Amino acid sequence: MNIKHLYREFEELAEQLNIKLVTSKGNFNGDYCLVEKDKYIVVNKNKPIEYRIRRLASAFSFLDLSNIYIKPAIRELIESERKGSLF
């Protein structure tokens, strides 16, 4: 799976979980946040795509994803980030 396809898979996962993916430029790293009842993952467009994927995997690693199907490559990235050994 190429790197852009991985990113697209994370976008689809966010959509499936009703998480708003916000991409913007700025001086920030990005992460998962909850504003009232709305869930967001903020991603910095200025960062390389590998970094953005790592931030997405990190954000998803805090969620309970055990009851939904996630493609094995994506689940592996999330689990690796949960363990602190991505890339």
The answer to whether residue 87 sits within a structural domain is no
- State the pLDDT at residue 53: 94
The answer to whether residue 86 sits within a structural domain is no
**Alpha carbon distance 66, 50 (integer Å):** 25
Residue 64's domain comprises 3-81
Adjacency order of strands within the sheet including 30-35: 19-24, 38-44, 30-35
The answer to whether residue 33 sits within a structural domain is yes
Six-digit token string for 73: 């490559």
Structural domain total, the chain: 1
Each residue's pLDDT expressed in tens, for the chain with a length of 87 residues = 799 999 999 999 999 999 999 887 877 777 666 677 889 888 989 999 999 999 999 999 989 999 999 999 999 999 998 887 544
Which 3 state secondary structure label does DSSP give 4? helix
- State the pLDDT at residue 81: 87
- State the pLDDT at residue 87: 47
State the pTM of this model.
0.84
**Alpha carbon distance 51, 36 (integer Å):** 27
- State the pLDDT at residue 1: 74
The answer to whether residue 56 sits within a structural domain is yes
- State the pLDDT at residue 4: 92
Strands 19-24 and 38-44: parallel
**Alpha carbon distance 31, 25 (integer Å):** 14
The answer to whether residue 48 sits within a structural domain is yes
Q: Which amino acid is at 39?
A: K
